[in-house]
A and B are shown apart, each in its own frame.
Chain A
Amino acid sequence: MMDNLYMPYPMRIERITYEAPGVKTFMLKFVNEADQDKFSYKAGQFGEYSVYGVGESTFCIASTPTRKGYIECTFRQTGKVTNALSGCEEGSIIGFRGPYGNVFPIDEWKGNSLLFIAGGIALPPMRCVIWNALDLRENFKDVTIIYGARTVKDLVYKEELKDWELRKDVKLITTVDPGGESPDWSGEIGFVPTIVEKIAPSSKDTIAIVCGPPVMIKYTFPVLAKLGFADENIYTTLENRMKCGFGKCGRCNVGKVYVCKDGPVFSLAQLKELPDEY
């Protein structure tokens, strides 16, 4: 049998975590050991997750390649496929094909400080690289995470946020939009770009990784520029709609660049070369 590119791996949902209203994380294990053995990925890559009879949907792999034997994905219930996924229980079999796309150049960042800036449901595409960096902590200087969501409820990975808060080798700043705080909220209140400006992290030997809704990204880049970050040292991911994941179906391209193959990870310097089509 020749390779059918569209054939997903069968994956068992090992554990479901409720992250926020409408947001879940699946821990997925390969049903076939042989699939597990030949599978490898790097931080930044994505895949197509499917419920048979409903369809496929594209998300990043939210777990770190430094931890073997499983992958995780975090998604918000919004469309047909994510609703069907959301209806799956632990033990159910779903489809996964991947990994696709390029990677965060984490090896090149060795010796630098890392500044992670995320908004809302965009912490998942960054979580892979955060844990990847924390598992190789000695390779990096300071690690700072600035994470914001609309309300306290909407913050995802609440348990991991507690872990990062307690770690001495991580500086975590969480923020919620004005009005989104709860009575016992002890974090910041304000939009992410404002908080970045307030915290004013140093740009010296620092790589910034920014993921979030377009409006957050738009207002965060100028703040980083003011703090002295060069475009080459700022990274983000693009999230264009995809079907195939490998450069054939024709919908994710931004100008001549295919998000599924040349991305999803781009530096701001690369992004500035692209037309406004994302």
Chain B
Amino acid sequence: MNIDKRLVRRDSLEKLFDILKQNSKKIYAPFLKNGKTTFRDAESFAMISTGHIQTTESSKDIAFPRTEKILDYSKGKDGLVVKGIDLENLPGVILWGVRPCDAVGIGALSSIFNWDYKDEIYNSRLLQVTVFGFSCNKSDEYCFCTSVGGTPGNTAGSDILFTRMGEDGDYLAEILTDKGITVVLMAPDLFEKSEIAEKEKFLAVVPVRFNNKEISEKLDKFFESKVWNDQSLICLGCGACAYVCPTCACFDIQDEAHGKSGSRIRCWDSCGFSHFTLHTSGHNPRAIQSARWRQRIMHKFSYMPERLSVFGCTGCGRCSRACPADMNILENLISIQEVTL
């Protein structure tokens, strides 16, 4: 499909917001509170945060919630009754204001949830989501999207990508998918046809910091390296990196009982936790933190590229921003590139 480029005036965004609301769409947008920017249900356009480089948390919970029911059960007079969750009546959602590094992360998540077995809970949720990407016009020292195949104006994963043309300027809207076209048809007047400049000059500049192909090839023979120990000595095993990551998909399944009824829930987990792989016998295949750090890096930069043909990292830099011990994934990857076997 030829990408349809339209002009959206800066004051048209609010009109678009209102029209979507009138069409009973839920709008999930970045929201600043206590210094943290997270995605929430936006009641009004004014609530939406725009000044951030990157939201504190990723938007992955739109299709992969932090905790979600996978079934309900009750034990009563009629015996055991088990009900799956209703996937047919999920509301349509606009994911508004996603950075390209989050939008592209949806692709990585989808690969995990669809290799071989198709996870219909995830897929049904994602099906209802229309992604409004917003290109980056600024970046910081944690950003490295260009080192893992992305760009500050990457269209992958977005249904419509908005690029602001200059400070306080209008927006270039790239209509990328059928879901994007559906939105345009709801508010055709707001998406104006006009001669539009190239978006590149309005984008942030993010230098390439390492060669991802080289790193993937190197990791293949790097299992026994001492870098894992060196790099993870300061790791607290808190799992913050996994919780803010747009592509981390590891989860736990737990039952919650309330008297005679309850639910089975799926909730986020992290390979950084010591209990993650612990056997009932007490044996733990990844008994020490360095083994768990190695798993994190290997999974993202070696196992996923090989098994799923996609990186498990979008270069958003959140894990480094969130780490209470100041571990920096970019520095660690650069040092892996520099270490000789």
Contact = CB atoms under 8 A, between A and B. Distances in A.
Contacts of A56: 253, 255, 264
Contacts of A256: 298, 302-303, 306-307
Contacts of B73: 52-53
A49 to B, nearest CB: 13
Interface size class of B (residues with CB under 8 A): 35 or more
A277 B291 contact: yes
Interface in A66-114: 78-79, 82, 93, 95
B291 A250 contact: no
Interface string B271-282: 100001111110
A4 B120 contact: yes
A278 B249 contact: no
A interface secondary structure, majority: loop
A249 B84 contact: no
A1 B84 CA distance: 9
Contact of B121 (A6, A50, A79, A246): A6
Interface string B97-122: 00000000000000011011111110
Contact of B255 (A4, A54, A278): A54
Contacts, number: 126
A10 B251 CA distance: 24
Nearest to A255: B223
Contacts of A246: 116-117
A54 B277 contact: no
B interface secondary structure, majority: mixed
A6 B255 CA distance: 12
Contact of A52 (B75, B251, B253, B306): B75
Nearest to A275: B223
A130 B16 CA distance: 67
A141 interface: no
B269 interface: yes
B303 A243 contact: no
30 contacts: A1-B87, A2-B120, A2-B124, A4-B84, A4-B121, A5-B117, A5-B119, A6-B264, A10-B82, A50-B264, A52-B75, A52-B80, A53-B75, A54-B257, A55-B264, A56-B253, A56-B264, A95-B82, A240-B277, A241-B279, A247-B116, A248-B113, A248-B119, A249-B252, A250-B271, A251-B276, A253-B303, A256-B307, A277-B285, A277-B286
